[in-house]
Amino acid sequence: MSQPSATLPEIRRKVERRERISPADALLLWREASDPEMRALASQVRARFHAPGSCTYLLMRIVNTTNVCVAQCDYCAFYTLPEQAGGYVLTEQQIFAKLDELLALGGDLAGFNGGFNPQLTIDHYCNLVRAIRARYGDRIELYAFTIAEFMYLADHASLSYAAAAERLKQAGVRWITGGGSEILTEDFRRRHSKFKYTVAQFFQAQAAIAAAGLRTTATMVIGFDESIEERIEHLDRTRRFQDETGAQESFLCWTFKPWATPLGAQLGNIEITSAEYLRHLALSRIYLDNIPRIRTSVLTQNERALEGLLYGADDFDIPIEDEVTQKAGATISLNFDKILNVARSLGFEPAYRPVALQQPATIP
Ligand code: SF4
């Protein structure tokens, strides 16, 4: 990263004039701006897209379809290797039961997330999506795969990303979201998930997903051992991809839960503070000037996540299940009113955002 060419007051003026900040500016902001200053700048950028006091939320669940995975990421407490005991693949009926429960609780979004399971083909998933569409129609929307799972399915079927995206679309898939990105630097992936995909491949796959007319999102996870420079590189790659495609409907960042993971044991099972998370949310809002919807993570930050609305976020989801993060220490509350009341106490009125009917957020 080049040396900063702007001072803090100059960067502040850039943001006020709606000028884009550089990676070097972002680094200087991170190092020198106070928390109240980050919050104020992020709120200024937020106000370009959202009225003060407004915010939206979803009620959703992650459906972990299989825990069998060959990727062996060292930050994961969820997976079981194919030859090990304890592996599972949810049946269609088990998945329907989870979706029924979600509907009964008032939710309408299921994010599917499983491992790289060599036994499960792309046709298996196409059949599953068809069965869900037949049973639920548009009452439930699916974040059907993460980009990482999509890449594995395509490779496993010897299909190009374009052909795989088309096949899934024909089966009823509408969304393949940014999960599996963690930190998008090649070095981070070599350190922690060498059997996953490279950053270059990740964006090739996401470009094919967008070109097929499927909808997608950007995500990020912080709190491993990544440097500030790596976080900024991730934001910069995300912003550049958005400049090229306009395809990422939202940006969601959450935090690494270390418990029961090999990396967590190595790092002393320490989580970053909520204050650091909120500061990163602010930086993300300021940097990602081309993504209108910035989401804060109730799943990993619980009620503190709502403070993210003061640091540039405008949207959050209330999850009722995610085995991957729960196994690594995340806790979930079904007291939805309590969560919504925290947002209200901070001066925001949360409005439910039905994903199935939702139009893409636009840049004014
Ligand atoms: S994070 Fe995902 S891809 Fe990596 S080991 Fe866990 S289940 Fe597999």
Residue with CA nearest ligand 1 atom 3: 71
Give the pLDDT score at 328.
84
Q: How far is the CA of 63 from the centre of ligand 1 (A)?
A: 14
Q: Which of 65, 66, 67, 78 best tests ligand 1's pocket when mutated (most atoms within 8 Å of CB)?
A: 78
Q: Which residues line ligand 1 (CB under 6 A)?
A: 69, 71-73, 76, 78-79, 115-116, 148, 193, 196
Q: How far is the CA of 166 from the centre of ligand 1 (A)?
A: 24
Residue 101 located in a structural domain: yes
Q: How far is the CA of 150 from the centre of ligand 1 (A)?
A: 13
Q: Which of 196, 256, 323 best tests ligand 1's pocket when mutated (most atoms within 8 Å of CB)?
A: 196
Residue with CA nearest ligand 1 atom 2: 115
Q: Pick from 179, 219, 231: which is nearest to 73 by CA?
A: 179
Name the DSSP letter for residue 50.
Answer: S
Residue 27 located in a structural domain: no
Q: Pick from 144, 218, 143: which is nearest to 184 by CA?
A: 218
Q: At what angle do helices 8-16 and 23-32 cross, to 10 degrees?
A: 120
- Residue 284, domain extent: 34-352
Give the pLDDT score at 354.
87
Q: How far is the CA of 11 from the centre of ligand 1 (A)?
A: 38
Q: How far is the CA of 203 from the centre of ligand 1 (A)?
A: 18
How far, in Å, CA of 75 to CA of 257, rounded?
8
Residue 120 located in a structural domain: yes
Residue 215 located in a structural domain: yes
* pTM for this model (two decimals): 0.95
Residue 361 located in a structural domain: no
Give the pLDDT score at 215.
95
Residue with CA nearest ligand 1 atom 7: 115
Give the pLDDT score at 358.
55
Give the pLDDT score at 330.
84
Q: At what angle do helices 199-211 and 228-245 cross, to 10 degrees?
A: 30
Q: Pick from 50, 35, 44, 46: which is nearest to 12 by CA?
A: 44
CATH number of the structural domain spanning residue 343: 3.20.20.70
Q: How far is the CA of 152 from the centre of ligand 1 (A)?
A: 11
Residue 276 located in a structural domain: yes
CB 177 within 8 A of CB 217: yes
Residue 309 located in a structural domain: yes
Q: How far is the CA of 249 from the centre of ligand 1 (A)?
A: 24
And the tokens for 174? Answer: 């509408």
Q: How far is the CA of 76 from the centre of ligand 1 (A)?
A: 6
Helix (H) or strand (E) holding 248: strand 248-255
Residues with pLDDT less than 70, the chain? 1-4, 356-364
Q: How far is the CA of 260 from the centre of ligand 1 (A)?
A: 14
Q: Pick from 144, 145, 154: which is nearest to 204 by CA?
A: 154
Residue with CA nearest ligand 1 atom 4: 73
Give the count of domains, the chain. 1
Residue with CA nearest ligand 1 atom 1: 76
φ, ψ at 112 (rounded to 5°) = -90, 130
Give the pLDDT score at 185.
98
Residue with CA nearest ligand 1 atom 6: 76
Q: pLDDT tens across 265-320, in order?
A: 999 999 999 999 999 999 999 999 999 999 999 999 999 999 999 999 999 999 98
Residue 25 located in a structural domain: no
